[in-house]
């Protein structure tokens, strides 16, 4: 099998061939492909395809799936953020129980850079260096200006719905000065916390702490972090005329286009990364020997959506730092183990 073929996952109508079965990274069919730092330096590439304040799409090229998955898991579980950890319920006469409210509040994304705070250990007291405090004090009552025949609760009552915008940051120590340019607040002010009716009160104090997603999902800095292999559609024989249009319609828009070559309409793959690998084309017998659906084994298309607390490009950078630190720890442990074995001999 040629190296290019060994680097492809082959999609057939009823199965997937040449899937991962390697005993170690970048080996195929029991045959080793040169593997080491030199090869990694030559093949590794990261290309940013799309970037917004909350989302990033980038290509990670030239690494094994184990590396890509390690990066994904770090994004989900090992980059710290600030989240509501403790809720001191002073008064709650609404219909939602204290425990449910505390859980909902804990999942509210908080705009606070964890790099500006210390870790708080179980016996440590709260300080301005490890804790952010919010207060929530809301009472529902009738709106005196509402029309007599009004039925909309949002107009009939004041504070009928409690939103995250009503969380009030209570700076401690020098926090007001430290964060004058970037006040701590909920990322989204329109998240519904609970609903109240006249006479019902919600009063509580919320303490935010630094944590990671592997301890609780509320600390995860990403809404989604996923990857997929780059599709590679190979046309092995010309597809022309009406067949070209049928072939084009088997793929999502923008994957295949009809081009005119020498007066002949011919199907041409223009952007394979848009393909969802639906295998629709394999349902048509006329294309069975004219197309080959594959995916590139070492080309990963990453999509990361931040919750908003940390920009997505910063998230990826911090995830890489964590991965490097893990490698350094493993190297040191391995060196110690080898040294201990040598001394025993």
Q: Binning pLDDT at 50, 70 and 90, where does residue 38 land?
A: confident
What contacts 102, CB < 8 A, 6 or more positions away? 87, 89
Which of 173, 163, 186 lies closest to 112, judged by CA? Answer: 186
Residue 336 predicted with pLDDT over 50 = yes
Q: pLDDT of 183-226, one tens digit each?
A: 999 999 999 999 999 999 999 999 999 999 999 999 999 999 99
Q: When comparing pLDDT for 328 and 5, which is higher?
A: 328
Q: Report the pLDDT value the prediction gives residue 152, as an integer from 0 to 100.
A: 93
Query: Does position 32 have pLDDT exceeding 70, yes or no?
Result: no
Work out the pLDDT band at 288, boundaries 50, 70, 90. confident
Mean pLDDT score of the chain: 91
What is the rounded average pLDDT of the residues 53-82? 95
Query: Would you state the pLDDT for residue 1?
Result: 46
* 184 within 8 A of 175, measured Cβ to Cβ: yes
| Claim: this prediction has a pTM higher than 0.75 | yes
SS3 153: helix
Coil, strand or helix: which one is 12? coil
More confident residue, 343 or 172: 172
* Residues with Cβ within 8 Å of residue 131, at least 6 apart in sequence: 117, 120, 172, 207, 208, 209
Mean pLDDT of the region 124-147 = 96
Note the maximum CA span of the chain.
Answer: 93
Helix (H, G, I), strand (E, B) or coil at 303: strand
Q: Residue 337 — very low, low, confident or very high, per pLDDT cuts 50/70/90?
A: confident
- How far from the centroid of its chain's Cα atoms is residue 289's Cα? 39
> Where are the strands (E) in the chain, listed by range?
8-11, 16-17, 27-28, 31-32, 45-51, 55-61, 81-92, 110-111, 132-139, 141-142, 157-158, 161-163, 168-169, 185-186, 192-195, 201-211, 222-235, 256-261, 264-269, 291-306
Q: Give which of 151, 152, 186 is closest to 167, Cα–Cα.
A: 186
Work out the average pLDDT over 222-238.
Answer: 95
Is the pLDDT score of 169 beyond 60? yes
Which token pair is 189? 């002010």
35-44, 75-84, 212-221, 305-314: least confidently modelled range: 35-44
Q: pLDDT confidence of 235, banded at 50, 70, 90?
A: very high
Average pLDDT over residues 167-176: 96
pLDDT tens digit sequence for 111-132: 999 999 999 998 999 999 999 9
pLDDT value for 20: 64
- Residue 192 structure tokens: 């519904």
Q: Is the pLDDT of residue 342 over 90?
A: no
Using a pLDDT cut of 90, give the percent of the chain over it.
79
User: Is 143 a residue whose pLDDT tops 90?
Assistant: yes
Q: Is 26 exposed, middle or buried (0-12, 13-18, 19+ CB in 10 A)?
A: buried
């Amino acid at each position: 099998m040629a190296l290019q073929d060994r680097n492809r996952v082959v999609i057939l109508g009823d199965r997937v061939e040449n899937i991962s079965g390697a005993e170690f990274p970048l080996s195929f069919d029991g045959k080793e492909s040169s593997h080491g730092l030199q090869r990694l330096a030559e093949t590794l590439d990261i290309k940013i395809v799309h970037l917004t304040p909350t989302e990033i799409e980038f290509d990670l090229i030239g690494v094994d799936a184990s590396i890509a998955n390690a990066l994904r898991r770090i994004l989900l579980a090992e980059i710290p953020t600030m989240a509501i950890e403790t809720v001191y319920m002073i008064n709650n006469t609404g219909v939602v129980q204290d425990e449910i409210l505390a859980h909902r509040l804990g999942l509210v994304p908080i705009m606070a850079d964890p790099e500006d705070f210390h870790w708080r250990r179980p016996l440590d007291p709260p300080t301005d260096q490890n804790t952010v405090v919010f207060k929530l004090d809301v009472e529902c009552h009738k709106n005196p200006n509402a029309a007599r025949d009004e039925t909309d609760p949002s107009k009939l009552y004041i504070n009928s719905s409690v939103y995250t915008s009503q969380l009030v940051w209570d700076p401690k120590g020098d926090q007001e000065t430290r964060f004058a340019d970037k006040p701590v607040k909920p990322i989204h002010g329109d998240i519904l916390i609970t609903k109240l009716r006249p006479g019902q009160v919600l009063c509580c104090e919320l303490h935010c702490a630094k944590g990671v997603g592997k301890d609780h999902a509320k600390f995860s800095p990403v809404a989604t972090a996923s990857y997929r292999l780059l599709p590679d559609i190979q046309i092995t024989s010309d597809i022309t005329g009406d067949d070209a249009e049928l072939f084009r319609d088997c793929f999502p828009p923008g994957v295949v286009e009809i081009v005119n070559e020498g007066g002949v309409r011919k199907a041409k793959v223009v952007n394979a990364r848009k393909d969802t690998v639906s295998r629709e084309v394999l349902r048509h017998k006329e294309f069975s020997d004219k197309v080959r659906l594959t995916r590139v084994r070492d080309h990963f298309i990453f999509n990361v959506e931040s919750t908003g607390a940390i920009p997505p490009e910063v998230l990826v950078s911090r995830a890489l730092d964590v991965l490097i630190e893990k490698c350094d720890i493993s190297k040191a442990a391995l060196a110690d183990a080898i040294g201990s074995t040598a001394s025993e001999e």
